[in-house]
Chain A
Amino acid sequence: MDDIIKIENVSKAYDKHQVLNNLDLSIKRGECFTLLGPSGCGKTVLLRLIAGFEVPETGKVYIDNTLVTDADGGDMVSADRRGLGIVFQDYAVWPHMTVFENVSYPLKIAKKPKEELTATTMRMIEMVGLKDLDKRLPSELSGGQQQRVALARALVANSSLMLLDEPLSNLDANLREEMRFEIKELQRELNVTVLYVTHDQEIALAIADRVAVMDEKGNIRQIGTPYEIFERPSDPFVFNFMGIANYLSVREEGGKYLVANGNQVIPWKNPEGTATSWVGGFRPSDVEVTRDGEGLTGVIKRASFLGATMHYLIDIDGDEFNTSIETHEAVEKNLIFEEGETCKISFKDLLWFDAEDLKEVTKQ
């Protein structure tokens, strides 16, 4: 089999708080796999279980077809013998060592000959873009550079598996955007498997070959490619978590499906199933706003110019939602609205959810 990580039936609790519950997961060799979920969902615990820093109450963990953790009493392979590279959120570069000493440490521990150690380390330092900084101490580096040191250190021993625990959350927005692509490129170039833990859905989408979305209770809700997760969410939780989510409530009256508190019929195929009330979910990009085209009539509650986009908060008979139009398009098509103006709304896509299921999701 070609799974580099295999997790079977793993459960973990802290005091009486159940974090993970009979969880199964496999990660394929060579892929970039992202564990995505809100804070406290157990994704970091899962990573730490794989790393060997935590021990589960039940279940087994295999790395490279070797049983490394067995809750039922088998011997455990300790963290230093798992041959992993790990990058932490707080960088965890050793402040008393230079960049070179930090990066070469795994090779020193492995007792590599001096020349090989120097050559490999320097190559890796150059690869992460820190050429000529090898003699600096971490305190003389920026946050982004420190995280590059951590990356190089995790990659230098040529481990086939890298665990990254929110490595970009301490960086500012611009750097975060830049580095996520760098990590992806390194992963491809070195052909390592990456397990990436994050709460930021944009990073997950940008970087992953496959994403697993976890909920607060530690259950995996959906596993799939970024496209699948975003375009075909398996349930309201995933839909709500993956980006700006808008909802319109719909009620049935005499076979017609009416929006919110008014009498407008929703211009979309009718909901199916046994629910008694529904909510239509859609992304800002799923609606088309026009001045006087087809569709529902809404009122612009708030218009904000944000540069590249015009942002509107629109009210339809008591339900509000957000959408945005690219500024140049809005100018071309006369879609710069003032607050209080009416507009027409039609849909490019709409997902039906049972109103009860959605309550569970949105109340948090």
Chain B
Amino acid sequence: MSIKQKGSFGVAQIILFLSVAVLVVVVAVPVLLIFFNAFWADGQFNIEDVLMVLKQPDTYQALINSLIIAIGTTVGSTIVGTFFAWLVTRTDLPYKTFMKSMFLVPFMLPSFIGALAWKMLLSPNAGFINRYWMDTLGFSSPLFDIYSYLGIMIVEVMYLFPFVFIQVCGALERMDPTLEESARISGAGLLTITRKITIPLVLPSIISGALLVMLYSMAHFGTVAVLGIENGIFNIPTLIYQKIHQSAGSFESIRTGTVLSTVLVATAALIIWLQGKILSKGHYQIIGGKSFRPMELKLRGLRTPLFLFCLAYIGFTIVLPTIVIFLVGGLKTYGLAFTWENLSLDNYKFILFDYKVTKDAIFNSLSLGLGSAFITMFAGVMISYVIVKMRVKGKGILEFLGMLPFSVPGSVIALGVILAWSGKYGVNLYNTVWIILVAYIARYMAFSLRANSAALEQVHDSLIEASRSCGATMWQSLKDIVIPLVKPGMLAAFFLIFLPSLRELTVSIMLYSPTTRTIGVAIYTLNEDGETVVSAALAGIALILIILGQTIINRFTKKEGA
């Protein structure tokens, strides 16, 4: 802005400068360092080394594994998600609203805790179900081995299908009912309409949800780490972790890590690009004017069986694992039967009041969550303001930088942060809690930008211009108009960051030191060390914290919405 405006001089420039600085330091530098390290060796551009790393059997296998698991998970989630979405929006299934909210529960449950539960239930030799199968029912081999590709995929589907479910539900609910009614008056029956009109119209939403699942599965650490390592199944994120962890950050392992990261980022970018293309091109304007209730398929004889099936699904995938976690958390020793004599609250007391490792972890996670949520919320408002409201050149770059972490998986961010903040460039945060904070900020910036941009888009320019013409300066307008109106977006951003950071594993596992474990890291490492009951108890505490937090948000957003 080259015009001198009395009264507002400098404000715009300060905001702009700060925004650029934050994004460059926190996001751009770590990501660039990854690419730099991957392709730049001994002072020159080097692609042969990259190819060599990729040709090594273990890296090659990890790539293939990532792909297999991601594809399997995506196909499974798409089928499960679309089916349930159709069931709760287009049929006369009983208790649909309750069912719908239940199907969204896996969204807030950390999948690695789920994986732990399934390990306890279905590990080939020690899993409760397999034991019952062999010991009591007398079969000679286990019912199901969870330490397998199929096992990993099934567990991932349980936690990722809501991505498809929520997209398809949204599309089906917003869809103009007259699109289907006009097919009906044209002579088509309900099944023909579903096949020829409804499904094709929501196909973009299905694909978009499926791609999201793929994106998450490719970069997913927790489930594979818990269930895969036993049988030597590694995907890219777990291999990166293993390399860095085993060699304590040697040059060679970092090199491999950066190359794998580059592959991961490239795949993620491809998926996001595809998704954008499908959303912009194939996304039909199907939102209608007058709204009537959409037609419902009468399930008739299938109504009760399908209802029971849904209940069974919810019981099996949500209730059962949760109960197992709490029960195991109450056992005196892992392996004992679930009887009243063997169960107590001692483990819970122990981890909350006596055990330093878990006490530290809870404290660390809470303070990291609060800290990153606060910082990211405020930085997010500022940067969103520049992107949405200011007419400056180069804001496209800001937007790109801010959204970049969406396509950069957690393990990659962690690696980039290690490269940037280990003293090589003057600041050494390695082995402190600060490096985790920086990584959280980078990882969650995109959440904050999205929530705040959405809120700011609602604040039309004319609202600000109206206050300017009332005699308010730019600062007064910000204070009296913009900030109060963006407040709900800021709060949303805060919780969107605080809650996931409570259960974060992928980033912290790469960055923790003995004193800076987070809840996720503590659960994972305790489990690795064979402290199964303590780890389960901590997982139980984490679940309680998360559900508590979610309840508060729901209360809150309901009040704001009213």
Chain A residues within 8 Å of B, Cβ to Cβ: 51-53, 55, 75-86, 88-90, 92-96, 105-106, 109-110, 150, 153-154, 157, 163
Contacts and interface: CB of A to CB of B under 8 A. Distances in A.
Contact of B463 (A51, A84, A92): A92
Contacts of B468: 52-53, 78-80
Contact of A95 (B3, B472, B485): B485
B267 interface: no
Interface in B1-24: 3-8
B5 A78 contact: yes
A24 to B, nearest CB: 22
Interface of B: 3-8, 460, 462-463, 465-474, 476, 480-481, 484-485
B469 A86 contact: yes
A83 B469 CA distance: 7
Contacts of B5: 76, 78
B465 A51 contact: yes
Given A92-B460, A109-B476, A82 B469 contact: yes
Given A78-B8, A80-B7, A92 B472 contact: no
B470 A109 contact: yes
Contact of B469 (A76, A85, A94): A85
A92 B465 contact: yes
B270 to A, nearest CB: 33
Contact of B466 (A77, A83, A86): A86
Contacts of B473: 78, 80
Contacts of A94: 463, 466-467, 481, 485
15 contacts: A51-B469, A75-B4, A76-B4, A77-B6, A78-B6, A78-B8, A79-B469, A80-B474, A81-B7, A82-B469, A86-B465, A92-B463, A94-B481, A109-B471, A150-B466
B426 to A, nearest CB: 42
Given A51-B465, A88-B462, A94-B485, 6 more contacts: A80-B471, A93-B466, A94-B463, A106-B470, A106-B471, A157-B470
Given A88-B462, A90-B462, A81 B4 contact: no
A contacts with B: majority SS: loop
B6 A81 contact: yes
A80 B472 contact: yes
Contact of B460 (A52, A86, A90): A90
Contact of A75 (B6, B470, B480): B6
A38 B471 CA distance: 31
B470 A105 contact: yes
Contacts of B467: 94, 105
Contact of B470 (A76, A153, A163): A153
Nearest to B476: A109
B485 A96 contact: yes
A55 B480 CA distance: 25
Contacts of B469: 51, 79-80, 82, 84-86, 154, 163
Contacts of A76: 3-6
Contacts of B466: 86, 88, 92-94, 150, 153
A92 B462 contact: yes
Contact of A83 (B3, B8, B471): B471
A118 B198 CA distance: 57
Contacts of B472: 80, 105, 109
Contacts of B485: 94-96
Nearest to A86: B469
A150 B460 CA distance: 15
A81 B471 contact: yes
